[in-house]
Every structure is written in structure tokens, then in C-alpha cells.
Structure 1
Amino acid sequence: MLRSLSTVALLVLLALPGVASAVTGVAFVHGAGRQTDALNDYWKAEFVDSVRQGLPNPANTLVVNCDFEQYMWDSRAAGCLAGQLHGFITSRGITDLVVITHSNGGNVMRWILSNPTYDSRYPAIIQRIRWVNALAPSSAGTPLADAVIAGNVFENALGWLLGYQNDGVRMQQVSWMAYYNQNNLFGTGGRPALPKGFWNVVGTDVGSGVFSGNAYCGGYAQSVGLEFTQNWLAGCSDGFLNCTSQNAAGRLWFYDYQSTASGYVLNHNQSRRACFGLDTILRNDL
């Protein structure tokens, strides 16, 4: 209901004189890792190309490439993200920006939204954002980050998912994120609200059975790996994040099964893929 009210408010604003010529753009903000080709290595062109067809001008699309192996406030993380977002809205004349994030990308985006005086580019970015669609954001961290930093078997088993012992992983330890949420970030319980909507898509389970219809989208091996890691998480999780972490900041948009085709669940890998109509949902949202 809250999401619908926001949509109505947007339509009213776009109908006002001087706003009707709004130029809409979409930015895809990846999650973990040091990305140099996030379009192909993180999101896949099928997903991005499908979503951006919802734009009046599909060319108004940015796929961010930054180093999220760093702490969120680092110049190579939030600084890089701010530079690419600011350059995008300036060069393309974007006045209505929808940001789509995944996993740890939500934390870096929340840093910008929560700390407008930290960087001179932040206010212009915030002003132009319509809202952030956060796909499986790690807003309260994950026990798997604690396990990786502890140096046990997860360090190797989760290298493909989390990366190894870097600051971006260290930051996502549960107690560390609790500290940041209480002192540096907005949007969680008891903290000031974020200046723009931060809407969560929450993955609730992992399907990995050989005959499971939803196990193969995004890669069967990844589904099996996430089924394994789910053993260290709560009953409601996407194989990497507990549902409570995914919905710790901002507001719930929907749990996967509420909106996906056939009510399929989205594991942590599938929530950045064209799986079960997710791309269509995001496309229609533009």
C-alpha cells in the first residue's frame, strides 16, 4: 500500500508544470567485489536490457563498476559510486533516477543517502533519486561474513559469493553492521528515515533439487552452494542473508513468492538475474 501511494505521488508530481519533462534514468549498483564489467560479470546483459526497456529512453542506463571490497565510505566504494552517479545524471540530464542495488550495494547506497554532507556530490544525487529498489540488501550483515573473517572452511567455500578476507566482507559482519546502523546509517529501527524510499525485495528460500523448477535459473551449481550455506542461516533466508537482514532498513516492497512467477523463491544469486519475472517487475516499476 505504501509503495502504491508513492507511485501515485510520483505521477502527480510529474503532472505539475515544470516537472512534466522529467528525464528518467536507471542505475544498477552491484554488490560485493571489485567490478570492472558488472554488466556481464555481475548482472548479465539479459537482465539489464530487459529492465531498461521500461524507460522512455533505454539509453539512460548506468551500470556501475566500483570496488566494493572496501569499506562503504571509502573513496573506491562510495566515492566511486558517487562519481559515476553524478557523472551520469549530469551528462544525461537525469532528473528522475531509480537506483537498483543488490546485496552490499545497498549498504554503499545507504551511506550516500545517510551522509549528505560527506561529499559535495551527494546532495545532487539524493535530490534526483526517485527511490532505491534494494534486491536482497545486506542491511544487517550476515553470519557468513563472520565465518569468512574467522578463517574457517567458509573462506574457501564462499569465495565465489562473498570474496575473501577484505574490508567489504569484514564490514558485513553482524555486529559491525549493527554498529554502523546505530551510528552512521539511516533507515533501520529507531534511526532517522532515509531521505528517499529504500524498497526491499526479500529472498526467502533456496531451491536446489535436481527436479526443482526454480533451481536452474542463474546456475544450478550456485543454487546448490546456497542450499549448503543456508544451513548456517535462519529458516527464512536466501542462502546468503537472513530475511531479517534484507528487510532491516527502509521498507518491504515484497517477499519473493508474493510477486514472482508461480510464487518461486529467489536465492541470493537469482535476485540479480532475469529469474521468474523479476526483471519484468523492475521494468514495470520504471
Structure 2
Amino acid sequence: MHSTALRSTALALLVGSQPAQATDVVGVAFVHGTGAPTNATRTYWQPAIIDTVRTGLPDKRNYVVINCDFNQYMWKPEAAGCLADQLTRFIDRRGITELVVITHSNGGNVVRWILSNPTYDSRYPKLIGVVRKVTALAPSSAGTPLADAVINGNIFETALGWLLGKRNDAVRQQQVAHMATYNAQNLYGTAGRPALPKPFGAVVGSDVDSAPTDADSYCGGYAATLGLEFTQNWLSSCSDGFLDCSSQKAAGTVWFTDTSRTRGAEPLSHNQSRRGCFGLGTLLRNALTQ
């Protein structure tokens, strides 16, 4: 009995001497799509969706909104390099141990570049280790025929100038054949390629509603909705006005298609999928710590 008591005491001391497990510090990063915003909170996302999502964090101060030059090819210092720099500084400053990345459109390609090429930049391995998951809103994973149209200089250059900018390198990158090459050679997550090292879940926009008498058409701006319904005529029957559903589904897995979870089963146009439309912000908030 005496020997047993001694062993029990020694075990208790040993357990008591072990450091307590630190609680994970969860953060969220909002990564914009094509463009070079200096204030993406207001000009790309708008504060409403950001404020809704971050209330799902244990500490709602642990968020960052990225501002980089995503008019460049995804691997450029101004694009992936800038993203890596801003994410690293955020992680270090706030002590983040688990990062949820919420990205939109071409931002998903920049994030996939980092996840797919860990040896390209010394900052990438640390970021990959900290990222818990990526939520990709309407990602342009397989490109879009509209990018080809803009580069070729036809009617879409005028119709999509507000959305795509001019003939910049990010638009060239999102041409269908170009993305097929990048997916086959440089990026993970698509069919026949290695899986991404972290979950990449897509939210798919399947349609555009622009009825002038329907208040829902005004979420995110009626002019943008109307323009996307126009360009939808050159896409498949399942599209968000900029991307075919097949492109949005090409990498990772599908988290959900808009109408299956949005309020009122409303579709999300490409513009609405980066705004707080039809309960999207609440869905993103509720999934933060899952």
C-alpha cells in the first residue's frame, strides 16, 4: 500500500508539472478578389458582412481585411507576396493559432497558390500550418469565358469594366485555358491533382435576379446586379453572372450552393456573394468555429 501511495503521489506531481494546454486563438482574414483596394472593408466587402462574421470569434478583434494588388498574376510579390506579408503580420500581432480565411472570386486562386507551393516563399509553411480552413465565396477556380472576352476586347470590356478592370494580368490569368494550365501544373485541389493541405470549401452562386420590383435585387447594388444578369446570357444556365457554377466547384469541395441555405432560397450574384445578402454573413459567422 505504501508503494502504491508513493507511485500515486509521484504521478500526481508529474501531471501537475506539465504546462497547461493553451487555448487556440482563432482569427479570420477577409481576402478580396481582382483589384487593388486601399480600403477593401468599404470598397470591396462593406462593413456589414465583416461586422456580422467577426462576432462569431471568441475575440471579435481577431480579424484582418487584406488590401493587396490582385490585378497581378497570383504568384507576384504584389499579390501572393503581399497576402503572405499581411497575414503573417496579423498572425504574429494577435497571436493567432488557427486562421479561417474567407476569400472571394480570384482571391481564391491567390490563396490556392500559397497552399499549393509551400517552398516558393519562406513565409508560406508557417501560414499553411496556421490556416484551419478556407471558405471560398464564388471562387474563379477554373476561370471564366468573360475574362477571355475582356482580353479579346469585345463588348464585355465595356460591360465588365467595373468588375474586372482593364486588361490586367489577373484577368489574363482567369482566362479558361490559362486556368486549366495553372490547375494542371501549379495549383492543387482540382480533379486529378493532389489535394490542398487545408480544407477549401466553396460557396456557389447559381443565378442572378434583377427584377426592378424585387427588393432582393438591390442587395449589393442594383446596377451591379443588372450588369451581371446581362453577362449571364453568355454563361451556362447555372452561373452567378461572372462565373459558371462548374468553375466555382472546380477546386476543393462545395460547402453549399446558394439557394440551399440562403434566406428565402435567394441566389447570390457574383457581387452579392461578397456582401451581407440573404443571411450570408450569418452563415459565415456560424461556421467560423465549426
After TM superposition, the score normalised by the length of structure 2 is 0.92
Give 2:70's aligned residue. 68
Give 1:3's aligned residue. none
Q: What is the DSSP-based 3-state SS (H/G/I as helix, E as strand, rest coil) of the residue aligned with 1:101?
A: strand
Mapping of residues 13-52 of structure 1, within 5 Å: 21-52=23-54
Give 1:259's aligned residue. 261
Question: CA separation in 1, counterparts of 2:21 and 2:128?
Answer: 17
Give 2:136's aligned residue. 134
Q: What is the DSSP-based 3-state SS (H/G/I as helix, E as strand, rest coil) of the residue aligned with 1:266?
A: coil
Whether 1:275 aligns to 2:269 is: no
1:115 to 114, 117, 122: 117
Whether 1:96 aligns to 2:86 is: no
Question: CA separation in 1, counterparts of 2:130 and 2:57?
Answer: 16
| Cα deviation, residue 213, structure 1 | 4.0
2:196 is aligned with what amino acid? L
Question: CA separation in 1, counterparts of 2:135 and 2:21?
Answer: 22
2:237 is aligned with what amino acid? G
2:202 is aligned with what amino acid? N
Q: Which runs of 5+ in 1 are unaligned?
A: 1-16
Query: How has the CA–CA distance of structure 1 residues 19 and 269 changed in structure 2, closer, same or farther, with 3 Å as cutoff?
Result: farther
| Cα deviation, residue 153, structure 1 | 1.5
Query: How has the CA–CA distance of structure 1 residues 39 and 19 changed in structure 2, closer, same or farther, with 3 Å as cutoff?
Result: farther
Mapping of residues 86-235 of structure 1, within 5 Å: 86-235=88-237
| Cα deviation, residue 63, structure 1 | 0.1
Identity of aligned residues (%): 66
| Cα deviation, residue 19, structure 1 | 5.4
Question: CA separation in 1, counterparts of 2:157 and 2:69?
Answer: 20
Question: CA separation in 2, counterparts of 1:135 and 1:244?
Answer: 14
1:133 is aligned with what amino acid? T
| Cα deviation, residue 210, structure 1 | 1.4
Question: CA separation in 1, counterparts of 2:83 and 2:138?
Answer: 19
Q: What is the DSSP-based 3-state SS (H/G/I as helix, E as strand, rest coil) of the residue aligned with 2:89?
A: helix
Comparing 211-220 and 266-275, the one that deviates more: 211-220
Residue by residue, what CA displacement relative to the aligned partner does 1:122-160 show, whole Å, maximum 9, x if unpaired?
010000111000000000000000000001121121110
Residue by residue, what CA displacement relative to the aligned partner does 1:244-277 show, whole Å, maximum 9, x if unpaired?
0001000000000011001100000000000000
| Cα deviation, residue 195, structure 1 | 0.1
Q: What is the DSSP-based 3-state SS (H/G/I as helix, E as strand, rest coil) of the residue aligned with 1:62?
A: strand
2:166 is aligned with what amino acid? Y
1:78 to 62, 74, 80: 80
Question: CA separation in 1, counterparts of 2:237 and 2:215?
Answer: 21
Q: Which runs of 5+ in 2 are unaligned?
A: 1-18
RMSD (CA atoms): 1.0
2:55 is aligned with what amino acid? Q
2:33 is aligned with what amino acid? G
Question: CA separation in 2, counterparts of 1:49 and 1:230?
Answer: 31
Q: What is the DSSP-based 3-state SS (H/G/I as helix, E as strand, rest coil) of the residue aligned with 1:252?
A: strand
1:123 is aligned with what amino acid? P
| Cα deviation, residue 214, structure 1 | 2.2
Question: CA separation in 2, counterparts of 1:216 and 1:53?
Answer: 25
Q: What is the DSSP-based 3-state SS (H/G/I as helix, E as strand, rest coil) of the residue aligned with 1:160?
A: helix
| Cα deviation, residue 209, structure 1 | 0.8
2:98 is aligned with what amino acid? D
Give 1:8's aligned residue. none
| Cα deviation, residue 18, structure 1 | 6.0
Give 1:12's aligned residue. none
Q: What is the DSSP-based 3-state SS (H/G/I as helix, E as strand, rest coil) of the residue aligned with 1:199?
A: strand
Pair member with larger Rg: 2
After TM superposition, the score normalised by the length of structure 1 is 0.93
Question: CA separation in 2, counterparts of 1:18 and 1:58?
Answer: 24
Query: How has the CA–CA distance of structure 1 residues 120 and 255 changed in structure 2, closer, same or farther, with 3 Å as cutoff?
Result: same
Question: CA separation in 2, counterparts of 1:219 and 1:43?
Answer: 12
Question: CA separation in 1, counterparts of 2:211 and 2:48?
Answer: 25
